[in-house]
Chains A and B, each alone.
Chain A
Amino acid sequence: MSANESPTDPAAEQMVEQASATTPESPTEAPSDVSPDIAPTRKTRRRPEHKPPPADDPSPQEVSESKPESPKASNESAVLQGGWGYWGSWGKSLLSTATATVATVGQGISQVIEKAETTLGIPSPEELSAQAPQEENTDGGTAGAEGEAQDDTAMGGALGMLSSLSSVVQSTGKTVITGSLDALEFIGKKTMDVIAEGDPGFKKTKGLMIRPTTLSQVLREAKEREEQQTSEDLSSDVEKKAHYGMLFDEFQGLAHLEALESLSRESEIKVKSVLTSMSGGELAQLKADLEEVSEPFSLMEFEDDDDDTKEDSDGVEFAKELRDAMSRLQLSVTADKLTQARTNIHDRIADVKSATPVSTTEEDEKDEADEMAVPQHTPEDVHALAISSLAELTAKSIELFHKVAQVVLHNASGNAQISTGDQAKVLAQITIMLCKEISLLSKSFTCCLTTVGSNEKGEVLNPLITGVFLEASNSATYIQDAFQLLRTVLQLAHIQRTADFAQ
């Protein structure tokens, strides 16, 4: 049984780690459920370890499906399954709190676990183990529930929600008996799954942490879901809605990401085959070299709490820094498309700001005058602009990494004076710059949103603001994950260069 649980642990740890990474930012924040204008998502995710290979990390669904196979497990879960209707009723309440909880994920996983525990009404381990032997024969409801758990990908909406909950309950019951500490972790993780079902945006993030899928798969799924939705409610006013995944694809982010992933995979295979063909001192030397190339990929530090004082709203400083960094790479790749996109985004923000009447705002730095001329922007407009801008900048960032990968691999014998390890360091810096820029951007957009929507009610404005922060956080994650794909590419480039040099 422990074999079933242990593979999920790293994922759970990662989540806890993320949660703790975000927590210190808002220590004074009131633990209210709806406080989205505080920015828990602003913090970029730190990601030191390399992703475990997919095979070691079965998806939560597989885990919960495989569990009932053990006869003991199904008997135990029967204890909990007995009152199916009872469990069904709290599913609804959890559903309604799920979205609100997403807003405060930054406050730490403990709260989520706590919430899950109280909402689930899980009995204490002692109670459970006492009950278990008595009720071993009440097997009736299990079979049906099992079936539902397996079907839950097929079923949408509330039913899918309930069935996934039933699998939570099944596995939870078992886990609680075997070890209560594990159980806590497990409930927390399962709760995340449940929360994610109510919020597709959150699911993307969660998917990155837990699922054994590649990044492009996650994004592709998101895009396809959105396309499906869009085509389903064609009659309604869908143009207003901003779909990150679809936009990301429109900016060719998905295509570049997939291409980068395949380059990364190919490189990994080649590096491995070179390593197996070597032995002795040569092997040790190469391993050490490759280790050096890999180092910048695991030492990434994102200290973006303090640096925010610098004002770079027009992106000029960003463009300059990026250009410098790119030239240090000595790869004859430019970041022009990216900086151009950044400039356009800035212009659009400026348009929105200038079109917003000053009278309703506190900050009066802007010029007045044209209140009548320019059409008013709605908060929905600004939100759509924000999502689209984030998707564009992320897509361009990934495109840049893809270009770098292609040139690194095919210019390996070229005239670069810089070592592959140093290139990796520069790329790590670029990643940090990009993530900071995303963070800055989300701030200016939410500023804009509060200004534009100053007359709107909180219920209207808060989800929009949360949405921007959420997608900004996702964007930063995607960029960092794409950066990680460069590791094997640079390793292969190093091998190629060494070989060329030797000739």
Chain B
Amino acid sequence: MEAIWLYQFRLIVIGDSTVGKSCLIRRFTEGRFAQVSDPTVGVDFFSRLVEIEPGKRIKLQIWDTAGQERFRSITRAYYRNSVGGLLLFDITNRRSFQNVHEWLEEARSHVQPHSIVFLLVGHKCDLEAQRQVSRQEAEKLAAAYGMRYVETSARDAINVERAFTELTRDIFELVKRGDITIQEGWEGVKSGFVPNVVHSSEEVTKSDRRCLC
């Protein structure tokens, strides 16, 4: 049953222009790599279900933002209603790595009073020969900001699933612990519908969602 999910998480994907945000998302949601991709206009929307534990599905609503500066004022408006985010840079483009600070700063200043769980993504890891950012460097930066770091490739489908599911799991844990709560007027986390008729294998879904609301 596709429609049944426990929570909906809204994730935002940010990073410099041409680091491969849309390609990564499309690999994740459509399972294929788009060779040619026009620059994103403003914001695009994607969604996919992720099963984090047997019978527990999370609906991810993924907001793909334009990296281009001219759309920045639009994309800024979307931080507030996101619970998590993937911050991408291109491992073959040092500039995009240097801008990671800036992106984080921008996100922090626009997400108030909420906070976003970020995952740092070093994208295009299939292009090892052209690498300009070492893994250690990136890991260090991620650790400094308390983020996980994952290297991905949309072209070769490396770690794409992992990047999204790890972020989803982290958020799910925070929700379970009550560190993140569902709030009226905030779209970051929403509660789904739990079926009245629960299949025996899925009985777990019943217990732990009520207390959080």
CB 8 Å contact bits of B169-202 with A (1 = contact, 0 = none)? 0000000000000000000000011111100000
Known: A234-B4, A402-B42. A227 touches B193 (CB 8 A): yes
Known: A250-B47, A262-B77, A410-B73. A234 touches B197 (CB 8 A): yes
Binding site for A on B (CB under 8 A): 1, 3-4, 38, 41-47, 61, 63, 70-71, 73-74, 77, 192-197
Contact B46 A246 (CB under 8 A): no
| CA of A230 to CA of B46, assembled, Å | 22
Contact A406 B61 (CB under 8 A): no
| CA of A282 to CA of B45, assembled, Å | 41
Which residues from 141 to 197 on chain A have a C-beta closer than 8 Å to any C-beta of chain B? none
| CA of A334 to CA of B71, assembled, Å | 17
Please, which residue of chain A has its CB at the minimum distance from the CB of B46?
A252
Contact B71 A231 (CB under 8 A): no
Which residues from 228 to 271 on chain A have a C-beta closer than 8 Å to any C-beta of chain B? 228, 230-235, 238-239, 246, 250, 252, 255-256, 259, 262-263
Q: 5 new A-B pairs (CB below 8 Å) besides A239-B1, A252-B44?
A: A228-B193, A230-B1, A234-B197, A238-B3, A406-B74
Which residues from 327 to 345 on chain A have a C-beta closer than 8 Å to any C-beta of chain B? 333-334
Q: Of B46, B71, B74, B195, which one neighbours A234 at CB under 8 angstroms?
A: B195
| CA of A402 to CA of B3, assembled, Å | 26
Please, which residue of chain A has its CB at the minimum distance from the CB of B39?
A332
Residues of A within 8 A of B195 (CB): 231-232, 234
| CA of A255 to CA of B187, assembled, Å | 11
Question: How near does chain B come to A384, taking the closest CB pair, in angstroms?
Answer: 14
| CA of A406 to CA of B40, assembled, Å | 11
Contact A410 B3 (CB under 8 A): no
- In this complex, the member of A238, A252, A256, A406 whose beta carbon has the largest number of chain B beta carbons within 10 angstroms is A406
| CA of A333 to CA of B40, assembled, Å | 10
What would be 22 A-B contacts, judged by CB atoms less than 8 Å apart?
A227-B3, A230-B193, A231-B4, A231-B195, A232-B196, A234-B4, A234-B195, A234-B196, A234-B197, A238-B1, A239-B1, A252-B45, A252-B47, A256-B45, A259-B42, A262-B77, A402-B42, A406-B43, A407-B42, A409-B74, A410-B71, A411-B70
Contact A406 B71 (CB under 8 A): yes
Residues of A within 8 A of B74 (CB): 263, 406, 409-410
Q: Is A403 an interface residue (CB 8 A)?
A: yes
